[in-house]
A and B are shown apart, each in its own frame.
Chain A
Amino acid sequence: EPEVTQTPSHQVTQMGQEVILRCVPISNHLYFYWYRQILGQKVEFLVSFYNNEISEKSEIFDDQFSVERPDGSNFTLKIRSTKLEDSAMYFCASSLGGRGDTQYFGPGTRLTVL
């Protein structure tokens, strides 16, 4: 069964450093998402992406964040200058269609900012 994959599984970085989290969505899916989950808290929407552009973003997704689909398979989340409060599990998800279509989540990247 096709799955969303994410790399790395764990990332430790120093405050102020840039990180890039990588995702390979399910191959025939057209819509891509990033969510995050701070330890012990709820899953929060960051951004959705379709047709090579952002379709929606939350207030969390400020200028420090960017997303890119650099080729036909990868979908990345970049955090330009990490802060302590960016420490969280970051989940990538994809769906075949848009509104109302099921989103399938990857295993997550645990980001720790020191």
Chain B
Amino acid sequence: GQNIDQPTEMTATEGAIVQINCTYQTSGFNGLFWYQQHAGEAPTFLSYNVLDGLEEKGRFSSFLSRSKGYSYLLLKELQMKDSASYLCAANYGNNRLAFGKGNQVVVIP
């Protein structure tokens, strides 16, 4: 299978910026998704990168380097509601997603 590596947990204060990193296996890779998952709920789509570079969507940005097998998600101006797990999912084959374990972000006042 494709190993997707993410760090597990981080704590940050409201208004701060956090960066969540992800590495993936490049063989057969189509693109990289980031999802947000609150406890007990479904993953919700945040961003998609297929080309190298930075994609910005409001407070969230995502970066991809295909040659390095590396992506990061940048969360700016953190809000309490951003406390969640952030899942990196690499796309392979016929649109199969291989998820990392997720990075739990805890936002404190």
Contacts and interface: CB of A to CB of B under 8 A. Distances in A.
A103 B99 contact: no
A33 B30 CA distance: 17
Contacts of B102: 42
B67 interface: no
Given A35-B97, A55-B94, A100-B95, A105 B30 contact: no
Interface residues of B, number: 26
Interface residues of A, number: 26
A61 to B, nearest CB: 11
B42 A102 contact: no
B43 A105 contact: yes
A91 interface: yes
In order of increasing CB-CB distance, the 6 nearest A-B pairs are A105-B42, A43-B99, A42-B101, A55-B94, A56-B94, A100-B31
